Each structure stands twice: as C-alpha cells, then as structure tokens.
Structure 1
C-alpha cells in the first residue's frame, strides 16, 4: 500500500512538473486580446461586489473566476505574467486530478496517460495562456467528474457535499457546466435508478446554491444578449470540422476513433457482452454526447456555439482515449504512447487568436509623448490598449472616445471637447474603418494633423490599424531659423529613463531639400553628455521635402539616459 501511494505521488509530481514546463514556456509571448482586456478591467477592483455588479452581471458569464482573479491580483500585481499564472496553476490542479480521476475509473496506466494527454492538448495550452476563465471551466469539469464518481461508488454524506461544492463551482465558472451536471444526473438515473435519493439530494443542493444567480442569468439572456452572442459560430459542416480538430486534435479522425472505441467496456471476441459501455465509460460518453448535442440544438434558436464553451468535453474525451490505450498490451501500449507524444508535440490543432500590435503602438506613443492626449477609436478593443498605455507610465491622458460615444452619447460631445481642450498634442488610434469619423471634430477644436498616418497593417479580418498625430495650432513662434523654418512648440519630458523631445515645426517657405534635425544633451560645463543625434524629422517619417509652407509638422527625438549621472543638463 505504501509503495503504491509513493508511486502514485511520483507520477503526479512528474506529470505536474512536465505540464508546468509546457504551460509556463512562452507564457507572455502573445499580447492581450479584447476578451483578456475585458477580464483585466473587470477584475481591477478587489471588491467582489464591484466586480459582479459593474462587470460580470452586465456580461454573459458567471462570476467565480473573475472574483478569484481580482483577489489573486491583490497579492501578485497585475503584470500579464502574474495574471496568466493564475490560469496555469488552475490547469496544473486539473492535471493532478485528471490522473487521479482516470486512475480511479480505469486504472494506473490510464491515469498517467490521461494526465499526459491533457497537458499536451493544444487547446488546453492556448486557453491556459490567456487571462480568461476557460482553464477553470475544464479543471472544475474534472473535479465534478471526480467527486461525482467517488459519490457514485459510495454515496456518503461527505462525498455528496464535495460533489455539491465541485458542481456548484463549475456552474459558477461557466454555464456549459450545466450540461456536464445534466449528463451526470442522467448517468445516475440510468445506473442507480433503484437508489436515486442520494443523487437527487446532491443535485438539489447544487440547484439551491446556484439559485441566487438565476436572476442574473435571466438578465444576461433577455437584456444583455437577447439575440445571442455576437461571435457565435453557425451550424455548418465547415464549423463542425473546425470544432473537431480544435477539440480533439489532429488527425481528428484518429482521436475521435480512439474516444469512440473507449466507450466500449473491454475488447474481447470471446465475450461480446463486455463490449457494452461500463458505468465509467458511460459517464464520460454522456458528458460528451449531451454537451455537443444540446449545444448544437440551442445554437439553432439562440446563437451561442463556441469552441471555448465546448472545451468542457476535452476532459471526458481524454478519459475515453486513455481507456482505449490502457487496454493494449505493454509493447503496443508503449509504441502508441510514444507516437502520441511525438504527434502532440510536432503538430498543432489550435493556435492563439491573432493579436493586434497593441504593445508596439503603446510603446511608440510612450516614447514620443510629452503630456499628450490619446483617443481610442477601437470599441471593445480599447481595453487591452488601455492596459498597455497605462503600464507605460508615460505622461499621457487617455479617452476611449468610441466607447463613450456608443454607451454615453449624451456626454460624448462635451467630454471630447473638454479632453481636447486640456492638450496641445493628441494621438488617435483607429482600429477598423471610420464608420463614424472623429477626425473633423478634432480639427474643429483647433488642431491639425501634424504627421503622416502611421499604418500598422491589417488585422486578420482585414480591419486597418492606424495611428494619427494632431497638434493644436500655436499662436507664437519660439525661434526662426533664417528664412527656412520656424520652431513653434517644444516640449521635453522624462519617463522610464527616456528623455523625449517633441518639436512642432512650420516652414516659412516650402523646403527645397531634406533637412536633418540635430539634437544633443549638454552638461553644465557645456560638454556633450551623450553623442548628438542627426535625424530626419520624426524618425524619417516626415521628410522636409514633403512639407508645405505655413503648415505644421510634428517631430520627436529620444535619448536613453539610464547611464547618465544625476545632475543638470541642457537640451539643444
């Protein structure tokens, strides 16, 4: 007994360490996308009531993950790494319990194969490396299956309470957990129809704990999303094929065949009756079949279909696959497992969503801003952009103008005018096409576009990503350089060891050549503190040969002063 426990602990530890390496690798490689930005904004407050009332209640999700993440951030901070680690730890718990669940249902070999497959699953990896609630959805699916199976084998009060806790937590993490619990209830009805009372009481306990959230569900369906989810997938063969390889892996037919065969009890030609599903395989099969079937059916009336929601079928599908594999003899089993490991590592069935270059844009604005304003014409994508801009510590002021216009139209004109009045320089980030063109409103407040539009390419769906620079028309000239150029504004600011020098030029006559701008930093003794820089205006983006007389042109230069000793310096 001691030897078995030691071996079990060894397997769990080894599998969790392997999964940890796999999940921590490149954890911050991808930037934030829109839904992650929403999650971060929703969990900014450590007060659970604020998180639920102001954010979750008005969206389409239950609250448990968001409340947990908001409390986690109190202790760990709000770096992308720290917030994604929360999901990594949740998935690692899932790996450990996947081993115990498969071992309990099908045996030792099935246990570590199931945990290994769960760790290597591409969609599990993709979802874990996001600040979203789907890893918690999958881990709690595993815990619900685990506590239910122990309760099914021996329906004691303690095991029933644990099942109630796990089932309730699953429902409070994702609504598709309801399909999992419905399937388990059907399993109890089929296999324990003569002794249903403990299972009825347990499910009644889950319903009672969840009843307080039912009004919120009604609100979310009828008021927030009466027409369904805006990005729901359609019922079509193309979508079904996509879901198959995302949820099962590639080649999807191979994995689906292993899972289907896993429904059978035991492979034997001598006793065909043993091919019938056992209670353990039936439980997994019901979760998969019922969840997929009801999801497709509901989607015909209320669009909600998503591979992320359907990820609840990954754990039971893996359990069925592990059951199939563990029935092979040792030699065949070893060959198959080695093949599966190589296949999982060398192929990809799920990729992170395409991410716009928000970190690059935020970094660029921070380097070239001196107490400027930033307008975000980005609708729902403003939240990840807000995160990156706020974490640059640059002296900037931010207004999500499109969000304000859509959600508070009565305040929009006044708030925009007040915002522009506070700034002499403004950046405009536009994601998508100008269905509503804010640019004339900026010009009407005394601004001009002072630099060429910076094109950051197009998003995966074809929407352009552009950055505009506007400056208020100055009233005076600071200094005139002969009959060629006039400097009408200069601002110097320091942040994050970067000295930013922003200039606004106005040609007196149309330039006939390309001028370079020389910037330098002098010590109190008049010596060069750093090598001077000779650059074309605005890092070459605004050559003077294209300038027109009496117009205004933005120019920006930066110095890295991290290694300069403290003291007084002059900018020239």
Structure 2
C-alpha cells in the first residue's frame, strides 16, 4: 500500500522542482543571449581587414617560440598573439577564420558577465550584465577584428569581479582565480598596467576604511594577489622596459578632455543609451549609497568606481608625457563600467527594466558598413596580384601597412618572391612591423638615402608598386608619426613620378570603396632603363 508523502517531503519536492525550473530558464537565457550575440557578431565576419589586423596575423604567423622575441619590435605583450598563433594553425589563416577567435572570446563574456553581476549584486544584476555583454556595440565591433580588445574586455570584467569578491565580499576562494586572471590581463595589453593601478587604488581605499584585524587580512591577501601576479609577469618586464624605450606610440597625440564623449560614443553606444544608463542606473546606485557604511554592496560599488576613475585618470596623465590614449584602449574600462551600470539598473526596479530595454534595443541595431569596409587593401591586392612577379618591389609609404599588404598579396593571392620596403628602408620580414625607434628613423629618411638605393638595384622590366595611404583628412594625420608619413609619402611619390627610368603602368585599385579606417591607393611603375 502506497504511503502518502508528508507535507515536509512535498515542500522539499516543490523546492527542488523550482530550482530545476529556475536553472532550466537560466540556461535557456544564456543560450538565447549567445545566439543573439553570435548573430550580431558574425554579420561582417571576414568582410574586411585593416592595418592593425594585418599586424596581428603577421606576428601570430611567426614560429610560436619566436613570438615573444618578435614583440620587442612591436610593443605589445604576447598572450593574444600566442593564442592567435595556435588558433590559425588549427583553424586557418583566412580573414573569417582569424577573426573568429575574437567572436568566441566575446561570447565567453556573456557567462562571465552573468557570474560577475550575480556573485556581487544578485541574480537580476547578473542577467542584466550578461544581456549587455551580448549586444554591447564596442564588443560587437572588436568581436569581428583580429585584435586583443575582446579578450581585454572579458579579462578586465573577470578580474574586477574577482577582486571585488575577494576584497569586498571577503570570499577568499576567488583569490586563486584573481591571481592568474590579473597576470593574464597584464600579458594581454599594456593598458592592464592602468587596470592594476585602478585595482590598487580601490584596495588602498578598502584598507583605509577597514578595521584593524580586517586591514591586516586585506593587506595579506593583497600581497598574495598582486605579488603573485607580479611574479608571473616578472619574466616579461625586461621586454616591457625595452618596448617603453624604443617602441612608443608616435602615431598618437596627447589626449585632451574629451574622454567622457569618447566613452559615451564608442563604448556605450551614443548619447541616448548613455543617458538611459546614467539616469536609471544612477537612481539605483543612489540607493546602494544610502545603505549602511559597511554594507558590502555599497562598498563594492565605490570600489568599482575607484577602479574606473583611477584607471582612466592614470592613463590620461601618463599619455600627456607618452601618448597611449585611443578609443579602443578605453575598452579596458568597459568591463567594470558595465558591472556598475548593471548593479544600478537592477536596483532601479521598473525604471531599470525600461532603461535596459532601451539600451539593448539601441545596441542591437546593425552597424555593418564600418565593419565591412575597414580597408580597401584587399581590393588593391586583387588588382595588383596579376601584375606583379617574383623580384618586384612593393613600397608601402605607410610602414605599418606592410604586413597587411604582404598578407593579401602572398597569403591570400599567392604572389611569392616579392621584395618589400618602406621609407625606413628594406623590410626583412614583411609580416612584422619594426617599431623600434621608428620616429627617429623616419625623421632621417630621405629620397637620396632611402629610395634611390632601392631603385638602383632593380633590373630593367622590374616593377615597383608604390602604395600610398589616403590622407585626405589632415586632422587624422597631425601626430608626430602620421605627419611625417604623410610628408614622406608625398616626397617619394613625387620622386618616382618624375624619375625617367620608370614608366607608369597602372593606378590601383581601379575603383575606390571608402575605407572607414585607413585606405590605400597605389601606382605601379616599370623600370625601362638603368
């Protein structure tokens, strides 16, 4: 005879069913977010590569063991390039294949965001943050680019959440995750140094506002986390110091006071979305700040804000001396920013829901033109490849375009045996840009010293493809490096056009599809006499 379940057993069964139902719905949400993110972030996959993507592919295509040494010429840490090097050997080196790594990293940001928001501010904040990670336009752009910025975003979000869990929520189990996450961030992009300054600033505030015994425990954990990450980063430090001395960013100007506009336009999707986040999120954040002084969530909000402010402030100050400030680098601050906004929207109730829906709708609008037309280098290579032969000379008047040109001509079009040069001189490895002391080298470059020896070595009937950057917008070409590139391009173009030993064969490409980053045009010459 069956025994009827007791009330307690029935209640336990209902609770178990509710938990299973909740987990099913959560899994369904994550799958839906990933599907939407995949749809948005593959619309322009493989459509266009620009100059910086050529740099990435060129470095990653070097032997894996040589990549750290090659980066002495570039100025970046090695983690992304090593990952990309393994990826392109496994998946392929075509435009879509190489960009796909960034797509997968961007998709990984969704569960990271869910964990980050949920672990710190509750389930609703986690869901909101995951949804924002799925459609944020900055991440959508760099999910379809062969660069490290989607990895930098994901790591900065994860490292901020782990830091707050350890030092605010006092969940020391996350200390084991924080240490390698911080080290990985440092090995991904040099702006991680500013992220570290932000984290240390937040830790200093927590130490100042903690009690005696708690202060000692925080200090001990800080030594473990930052000291351990520093030890892991120590082998890279000599290379970093060399890069700082020899591979600066002469292509940038010192930043002014437009950082809020940059963040609003490029990181948060424009004025409407920013206003919705600030107004609705701000109302929720105000409620957090009204909590008791030692309330963990209140302290987490303040600490996260300190991370963002100290990160951007230190980067802005450093860039007044050595410019290292550009929109895509600001993505390092986007992770903690979205974490703060998700917490505020979750606390704002119905207003937060309305604001979130507005933001998600704006962020989900397709913006394909810029991604599909980053550069016209592929058009140029397609037109030039049938006209070039082994031993011909390709001169890129913007030196950092060389790896992209070599990728399109050699890897994709199969033109072998070409020689490459720039105003800096002959290029030994066209797949790697040598930034070492580049500003001083281009200042010394002249037609007589750098161009004439190249032309003199060419036999009759050899061809020269002279590739110019399109410099129509002068305000984009006024930094120390870019201004000289523009000037040298004009000088070398005039010199070759007036050289009677060469005749013009073609102007390439035959049509110009607007490039939203940096476009190129070329003139093909053939040597007719000595």
TM-score tier after normalising by the smaller chain length: 0.7 to 0.9
Q: Kindly report which structure 2 residues correspond to 1:138-537, keeping only aligned pairs within 5 A, or say none.
A: 138-152=153-167, 153-156=169-172, 159-189=174-204, 190=206, 192-196=214-218, 197-225=220-248, 229-238=249-258, 240-251=260-271, 252-258=274-280, 260-261=282-283, 263-266=285-288, 278-329=298-349, 331-346=350-365, 355-369=374-388, 373-378=392-397, 379-395=399-415, 397-402=417-422, 405=425, 416-418=455-457, 420-421=458-459, 423-431=461-469, 434-437=489-492, 447-451=502-506, 465-470=521-526, 472=528
Could you say which structure has the higher strand fraction?
A: 1
The yes-or-no answer on 1:131 pairing with 2:156 is: no
Cα distance in 2 between the residues matched to 1:359 and 1:308: 23
**CA 181–10 in structure 1, closer or farther in 2 if over 3 Å, else same:** farther
| TM superposition shift of 1:120 | 1.7
For residue 121 of structure 1, report the CA deviation from its aligned partner: 1.5
Q: Confirm or deny: 8 A CA contact 1:235 1:299 kept in the other structure.
A: yes
TM-score (norm. length: structure 2)? 0.77
What is the match of residue 121 of structure 1? Answer: 136
Deviations 1:527-557 (A, max 9, x none): xxxxxxxxxxxxxxxxxxxxxxxxxxxxxxx
Alignment of 1:35-74 (within 5 A): 35-48=52-65, 50-54=66-70, 56-74=71-89
Note the C-alpha offset of 1:265: 4.5
8 Å contact 1:448–1:472 — kept in the other structure?
A: yes
Is contact 1:372-1:395 (8 Å) kept?
no
SS at 2:255 equivalent? coil
1:19 matched to 2:37: yes
Q: How many Å separate the matches in 1 of 2:387 and 2:426?
A: 29
Q: Which has the higher contact order (CA 8 A, sep 6+)?
A: 2
Contact 2:496-2:502 within 8 A present in 1 as well: no
| Bigger Rg, which one | 1
Q: 1:100 aligns with which of 101, 115, 118?
A: 115
State the shift of 1:448 in Å: 2.5
Partners of 2:341 and 2:525 lie apart in 1 by 56
Whether the 8 Å CA contact 2:420–2:426 is kept in 1: the answer is no
Over 3 Å counting, the alpha-carbon distance change for 1:396 and 1:470 in structure 2 is: farther
Q: Secondary structure at the match of 1:421?
A: coil
Structure 1: unaligned runs, 5 residues or longer: 475-572
Matched, 1:8 2:20: no
- CA separation of 1:224 and 1:395: change in aligned 2, threshold 3 A: closer
Residue 148 of structure 1, CA deviation: 2.6
Query: Counterpart in 1 of 2:104?
Result: 89
Residues 242 and 428 (structure 1), Cα distance of their counterparts in 2 relative to 1, 3 Å cut: same
How far apart, in 2, do the equivalents of 1:250 and 1:395 lie?
43
| Kept after mapping to 2: 8 A contact 1:43/1:51 | yes
- Is the partner of 2:45 in helix, strand or coil? coil
DSSP-derived class of the 1:266 partner = helix
Give the secondary-structure state (helix, strand or coil) at the position aligned to 2:467.
strand
How many residue pairs were aligned?
Answer: 463
Distance 1:353 1:304 in 2: 27
Residue 238 of structure 1 deviates from its aligned partner by 4.4
Contact 1:43 1:66 in 2 (8 A): yes
Q: Partners in 1 of 2:44 and 2:518 — Cα distance? A: 27
Moved more, 205-214 or 229-238: 229-238
RMSD (CA atoms): 3.6
TM-score normalised over the length of structure 1:
0.71
Do the aligned residues in 2 keep the contact of 1:375 with 1:427 (CA within 8 Å)? Answer: yes
SS across alignment from 2:252: coil
How far did residue 116 of structure 1 move?
1.3
CA contact (8 A) 2:506 2:525 kept: yes
- Are residues 347 and 131 of structure 1, via their aligned partners in 2, closer, same or farther at CA, if it must alter by over 3 Å? closer
Summarize deviations over 1:96-148 as a string: whole Å, max 9, x none: 11111101111112112111112221111112211111111111112212333
Shift of 1:80: 0.9
CA distance in 1: counterparts of 2:39 and 2:343, whole angstroms: 26
CA separation in 2, counterparts of 1:290 and 1:349? 34
